[in-house]
Chain A
Amino acid sequence: MIKLSLVYLLAGLVFAAFAVFSALDRSNAKRFGNAAFWGLVAASFLVGDRLGDLGNGVLVLGLGLLAGFGLLGRGQPLTTSPEERRRLSEHFGNRLFVPALTLPVVVALGVLVLKPLTIGGAPLFDPKQATLISLALAAVAAVVVALVLLRQPIVSPLQEGRRLMDTVGWAALLPQMLAALGAVFALAGVGELIGQLVTAWIPLDTLFVAVAVYCVGMAAFTVIMGNAFAAFPVLTAGVGLPILIKGFGGDPAVVCAIGMLSGFCGTLMTPLAANFNLVPPALLELPDRYSVIKAQIPTALPLLIVNVVLMYVLAF
């Protein structure tokens, strides 16, 4: 049986390769900062289950310190020049999209066809983790297709991956960190506290009010936290699970899916989601740094109302 540990091993080895290539890249003045950062990420994937909670916590603090003190630079991986790329893209044309489209096709195949397969009585995939295993399988398949189709050196995927990670920088880990923060908040009981606060002020005994409080709460908390991933564990533990799912018997898939999307409406309205809302105006040289948020609010607000109605109609 293929388990998640194999996926972790694969991801860990990819990050370890980023660390080694970073350390060898003399074009980057901060190369050892990059190597340490991606090395720590690799370590968390490869031996995280043996480090214990304290060890992993220290590891995350290490990542935070490296990023916070600006110890990450940008390397120059050995890769194709812009001219070579233009020539190759003219040569390959639309075939360039084949590897990218391989990924969703293989994921769908994995989940719909390979997941139910059994070999000698044991399932091929760990049934609980079939989605992630399919995604890893699809990533490997897409890389193989790209290598065969485009005839680039075998090290190219790793060098290009490192180029992408160096461009995004530490922000690549932001969603995971915020989700972890939300989980810590939920464990510390912030969710229950918010649930109590809300129920003390607003009577949640009518279904529509409860749905509206959860959806608008997700959006508002996302505006404050800057990311729906951090708001979701807190609001779901405080309002979604106890009141909507257990109290009113709502379908958990509908409540959670639409709850998260209500949070995304909040993401559209907050300057704290800098990578989405403040970086594009800077890159596009717009004089008003809030112009993208202003363009998004008239879509976000009606969509939030639509989400409330959709959850009310579909979940119960």
Chain B
Amino acid sequence: MAEGAVEARLADQGRELDDETRHAVRAQAAATDNIGLFFGEDIFIAIGSILLMVGLLAASGITLDPLHLSLWAIPTAIAAFLIHGTRLLLFDRRLKAARAGSRAP
């Protein structure tokens, strides 16, 4: 999807996507997928990592409600969204700048 978007934007300018940029976009897309998965999934109460924490603490005599664990995952999820979102905006701006630069002779 990301690749297609960049390609379409370039096509509007009558240009093609070079391999280096294509690979950079793909790597960013895969990274974004991982980051969204890791820091988003813990907000759901029935996911493996939450159940692991509940089980381990129960073995140590501490009873916890899964809901509390997932609530306390929200601040980090917001931080992950802000940090990675900012990086993606900068990445996009860099792509645009590189394009503008390469258009000038």
Contacts and interface: CB of A to CB of B under 8 A. Distances in A.
Interface stretch (A84-92, A157-165, A204-212, A296-304): A296-304
A132 interface: yes
A299 B51 contact: no
Contacts of A18: none
B48 to A, nearest CB: 5
Interface in B1-47: 23-24, 26-31, 33-35, 38-39, 42, 44-46
A296 B31 contact: yes
B52 A310 contact: no
A106 to B, nearest CB: 10
Contact of B53 (A232, A294, A306): A232
A40 interface: no
Interface in A273-310: 276-277, 280-281, 284, 286-288, 291-292, 294-296, 298-299, 302-303, 306-307, 310
Contacts, number: 137
B79 A310 contact: yes
A256 B53 contact: yes
A253 B76 contact: no
Q: Is the interface of B mostly helix, strand, loop or mixed?
A: helix
Query: Which range contains the number of B residues in contact with the other chain?
Result: 35 or more
Nearest to B56: A233
Contacts of B52: 179, 229, 232-233, 260
A282 B33 CA distance: 15
A271 interface: no
Interface string B62-90: 11111111111101100110011001000
Contact of B49 (A228, A284, A296, A314): A228
A124 B62 CA distance: 24
A34 interface: no
A134 interface: yes
A41 interface: no
Nearest to B59: A183
B93 to A, nearest CB: 15
Chain A interface extent, by class: 35 or more
Contacts of B56: 183, 186, 232-233, 236, 256
Given A111-B66, A277-B34, A299-B35, 13 more contacts: A132-B51, A176-B48, A186-B56, A233-B52, A257-B69, A257-B73, A261-B38, A280-B34, A284-B27, A291-B23, A295-B30, A299-B87, A307-B76
Interface of B: 23-24, 26-31, 33-35, 38-39, 42, 44-46, 48-54, 56-58, 60, 62-73, 75-76, 79-80, 83-84, 87
Interface of A: 104, 107, 111, 128, 131-132, 134-135, 138, 175-176, 179, 183, 186, 228-229, 232-233, 236-237, 241, 245, 252-254, 256-258, 260-261, 264, 267-268, 276-277, 280-281, 284, 286-288, 291-292, 294-296, 298-299, 302-303, 306-307, 310, 314
26 contacts: A107-B46, A128-B63, A131-B50, A132-B46, A176-B48, A233-B52, A233-B56, A257-B73, A260-B49, A261-B38, A264-B39, A268-B31, A284-B29, A286-B26, A288-B23, A292-B30, A292-B31, A292-B34, A295-B27, A299-B31, A299-B80, A299-B83, A299-B87, A303-B79, A307-B79, A310-B76
Closest 5 CB pairs of A and B: A280-B30, A295-B31, A135-B46, A257-B72, A291-B27
